[in-house]
Structure 1
Amino acid sequence: MPGVTIEQLREIVSDVFDDEDVEISEETTAHDVEGWDSLNHIRFMVTVEQRFNVRFTSREVESLQNVGDLLRAINSKSQT
């Protein structure tokens, strides 16, 4: 089964932050996306968990530094 792609995460960022033109890369952080505050971070993570049927602990979420870390974490959890 193919892993989650950066484009799939971009679609979620676009939906959660209501920005159809948002561009993200593996290096993108919360500081790079307009409106990415603590509330929207929770909305984003809940959406990711629901969309890809994964669950993250608070510690795992806190360890994520950028979109690339999240992508690798999702794909790692999806394979178990």
Structure 2
Amino acid sequence: MEGLYGISCVGKTTLANFVGNQLRQEKIFDEVGIATVSQDPDIIKVQGELAKSLGWALNEKDEKERADRLRLMFSERYS
């Protein structure tokens, strides 16, 4: 897992998307997930972005239920 942080408008998201695309194209990793986390994060949105970027679907509405589902999907997929 990698993270980028810094002042706004310097290209963090652009860089993350570029690196993610390179990793996918060069098949360095089987899957690459990306989610944008703002200074005041909307956890439901972050969970949805991460799941969507991995091709997964979250139908749960509650933040904790979504977290439990993500944890289960990760453990099933990568155990």
TM-score bracket for this pair, using the shorter chain length: 0.3 to 0.5
Normalised TM-score (structure 1): 0.35
Structure with more helix by fraction: 1
Query: Is the radius of gyration larger for structure 1 or structure 2?
Result: 2
Normalised TM-score (structure 2): 0.36
